[in-house]
């Protein structure tokens, strides 16, 4: 029997292993997640109050405050933004550390100085689409503007994280590398570190090493490493317009980027950002550092954001209501025999459990699994599909669907009303 326990260990997230060794620039000890829920997430969803922002920050601390989530970006434009930044600074934990997010203007930089932040993201749009169409200037003029703000920040000892906006539509040779080389010279002059954020702004990146820049994420990240940047100097920020955001973020890590910039539940512009919780799962799979993540906090993330009015998609990985719920009779029968047959990992890792939705197509297996999840342990273990009470409940379920023509699963309340006729211990749960 071959169960690939090195890849699928019991009670842990699936591991990511490499045949013949990992790519040259991959450094598992230097990868981490960074958060932009309070910046890009807020921008793509709705403005949040100071109290809501603090609740979100506390969730980030709970999920990855042991070192897997190293920073969180903050707007500084409104009094509300600045109050939230002040309170997060006062929170006083090591991770995730608060950093600013500004445009390349001296007035914006002043906000960072006034907030007392030691690091800020700086928007430095890098593609010709942005430089020529949005700003209406030459590359040189755009670079001069960006670098004047970078230099002033470095003079003040502020670490700048330059967002290479629209990098997956930018020339590596004419735009990206010349700008990065000038950042390196400024950093050497002032003795202040810097980082670059490779932004796949329109979700056009591709995760395959054979694809060249601008769309090839592995080639783009590897070129930055070849230019002399360290892993912790390269952050990748993707969008999900073409459905490849998680694959692109993984490719960025594996091919040399140290930082993966995400939002809780992937909330963000248009089709959304990279889901932070998914990357935390893969972080554990790549590094084995389970001690640095607390994915059991995810149900509280969902509860908190839903209380704020956000609707979590039913089919969203890890956190959606349907993520660990099955309707298919064949799947349910396999789950009854051994949960590993149809579960990619133990749902308890993310604070969930396997569930069943009872329909006309789930068969007796669905009824049995539903009953076992609600009966006392000893009674549940004794119960089998051959029990006449299971057969009776199943026939009533089929009758409901036949007579009503309904297409949606029975609710737990409806199942309890049916099952209580044969299992009195389930009664009285109105």
pLDDT digits (tens, 9 = 90+) for 84-120: 999 999 999 999 999 999 999 999 999 999 999 999 9
The reported pTM is: 0.95
Q: Which residue do the tokens 């200037």 mark?
A: 137
Do 52 and 190 lie in one domain? The reply is: yes
Domain that holds residue 406: 325-426
Q: Residue 165 domain-assigned?
A: yes
| Whether the Cβ atoms of residue 270 and residue 238 lie closer than 8 Å to each other | no
- Measure the CA–CA gap between 262 and 277, rounded to whole angstroms: 9
Q: What is the pLDDT of residues 301-347, one digit of tens each?
A: 999 999 999 999 999 999 999 999 998 888 998 998 999 999 999 99
Nearest C-alpha neighbor of 69 from the set 100, 36, 42? 36
pLDDT of amino acid 207: 98
At residue 427 the predicted structure's pLDDT band, cuts being 50, 70 and 90, is confident
Q: What is the pLDDT of residues 224-261, one digit of tens each?
A: 999 999 999 999 999 999 999 999 999 999 999 999 99
Measured CA angle at 16 (ends 208, 210), to 5 deg: 10
- Measure the CA–CA gap between 132 and 325, rounded to whole angstroms: 50
Q: Residue 11 domain-assigned?
A: no
User: Which range among 75-84, 231-240, 279-288, 351-360 shows the weakest confidence by mean pLDDT?
Assistant: 351-360
Do 346 and 293 lie in one domain? The reply is: no
Do 113 and 161 lie in one domain? The reply is: yes
Instruction: Tally Cβ neighbours within 10 Å of residue 171.
Output: 15
Q: Residue 22 domain-assigned?
A: no
Do 419 and 293 lie in one domain? The reply is: no
Query: Among 307, 335, 357, where does a domain finish?
Result: 307
At residue 153 the predicted structure's pLDDT band, cuts being 50, 70 and 90, is very high
Do 212 and 138 lie in one domain? The reply is: yes
> For 156-287, where are the alpha helices, taking DSSP H only?
177-190, 217-226, 245-254, 276-287
Measured CA angle at 133 (ends 128, 139), to 5 deg: 40
Q: Residue 314 domain-assigned?
A: no
Do 174 and 89 lie in one domain? The reply is: yes
Do 273 and 408 lie in one domain? The reply is: no
pLDDT of amino acid 237: 98
Q: Residue 32 domain-assigned?
A: yes
pLDDT for residue 173 is more than 90: yes
Q: At what angle do helices 245-254 and 217-226 cross, to 10 degrees?
A: 30
Instruction: Tally Cβ neighbours within 10 Å of residue 384.
Output: 11
Strands 97-103 and 119-123 turn out to be: parallel
At residue 428 the predicted structure's pLDDT band, cuts being 50, 70 and 90, is low
Q: Residue 289 domain-assigned?
A: yes
Do 46 and 186 lie in one domain? The reply is: yes
Do 181 and 260 lie in one domain? The reply is: yes
- Measure the CA–CA gap between 225 and 213, rounded to whole angstroms: 14
- Mean pLDDT computed over every residue of the chain: 96
Summarize the confidence of residues 29-54 as an average pLDDT. Answer: 96
Q: Residue 102 domain-assigned?
A: yes
Q: Residue 231 domain-assigned?
A: yes
At residue 43 the predicted structure's pLDDT band, cuts being 50, 70 and 90, is very high
Is 23 strand, coil or helix? coil
- Measure the CA–CA gap between 146 and 108, rounded to whole angstroms: 12
pLDDT above 90: percentage of residues in the chain: 91
Do 299 and 340 lie in one domain? The reply is: no
pLDDT of amino acid 403: 87
pLDDT for residue 429 is more than 80: no
CATH number at residue 249: 3.20.20.70
Strands 234-238 and 194-200 turn out to be: parallel
How many structural domains are present in the chain? 2
CA dihedral 107, 113, 114, 117 (to 10 degrees): 130
Q: What is the pLDDT of residues 185-222, one digit of tens each?
A: 999 999 999 999 999 999 999 999 999 999 999 999 99
- Measure the CA–CA gap between 239 and 275, rounded to whole angstroms: 10
Do 363 and 245 lie in one domain? The reply is: no
Is 205 strand, coil or helix? coil
Is 84 strand, coil or helix? helix
Do 97 and 36 lie in one domain? The reply is: yes
């Amino acid at each position: 029997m071959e169960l690939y326990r090195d890849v699928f260990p019991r009670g842990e997230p699936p591991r990511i292993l490499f045949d013949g060794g990992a790519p040259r620039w991959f450094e598992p000890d230097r990868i981490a997640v960074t958060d932009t829920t309070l910046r890009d997430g807020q921008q793509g969803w709705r403005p949040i109050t100071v109290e809501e922002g603090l609740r979100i920050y506390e969730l980030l601390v709970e999920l990855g405050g042991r070192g897997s989530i190293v920073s969180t970006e903050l707007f500084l434009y409104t009094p509300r933004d600045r109050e939230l930044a002040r309170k997060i600074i006062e929170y006083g934990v090591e991770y995730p550390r608060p950093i600013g997010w500004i445009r390349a203007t001296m007035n914006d930089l002043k906000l960072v100085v006034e907030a007392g932040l030691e690091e800020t993201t700086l928007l430095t749009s890098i593609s010709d689409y942005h430089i020529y169409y949005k700003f209406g200037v030459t590359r040189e003029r755009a670079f001069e503007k960006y670098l004047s703000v970078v230099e002033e920040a470095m003079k003040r000892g502020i670490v700048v994280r330059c967002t290479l906006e629209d990098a997956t539509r930018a020339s590596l040779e004419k735009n990206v590398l010349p700008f990065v080389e000038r950042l390196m010279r400024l950093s050497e002059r002032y003795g202040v570190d810097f980082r670059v954020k490779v932004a796949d702004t329109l979700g056009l990146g591709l995760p395959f090493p054979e694809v060249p820049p601008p769309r090839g994420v592995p080639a783009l990240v590897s070129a930055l490493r070849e230019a002399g940047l360290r892993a912790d100097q390269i952050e990748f920020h993707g969008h999900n317009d073409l459905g490849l955001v998680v694959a692109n973020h993984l490719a960025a890590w594996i091919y040399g980027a140290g930082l993966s910039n995400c939002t809780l539940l992937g909330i963000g512009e248009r089709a959304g950002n990279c889901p932070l919780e998914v990357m935390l799962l893969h972080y554990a799979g790549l590094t084995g550092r389970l001690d640095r993540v607390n994915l059991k906090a995810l149900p509280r993330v969902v509860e908190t954001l839903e209380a704020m009015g956000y609707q979590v998609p039913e089919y969203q990985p890890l956190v959606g209501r349907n993520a660990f719920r099955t309707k298919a009779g064949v799947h349910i029968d396999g789950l009854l025999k051994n949960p590993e047959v149809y579960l990619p990992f133990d749902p308890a890792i993310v604070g969930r459990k396997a569930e069943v939705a009872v329909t006309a197509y789930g068969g007796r297996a669905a009824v049995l699994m539903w009953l076992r999840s609600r009966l006392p342990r000893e009674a549940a273990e004794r119960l089998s599909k051959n029990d006449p009470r299971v057969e009776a409940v199943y026939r009533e379920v089929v009758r409901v669907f036949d007579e009503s023509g309904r297409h949606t699963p029975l609710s737990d309340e409806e199942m309890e009303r049916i099952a209580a006729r044969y299992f009195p211990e389930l009664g009285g749960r109105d």
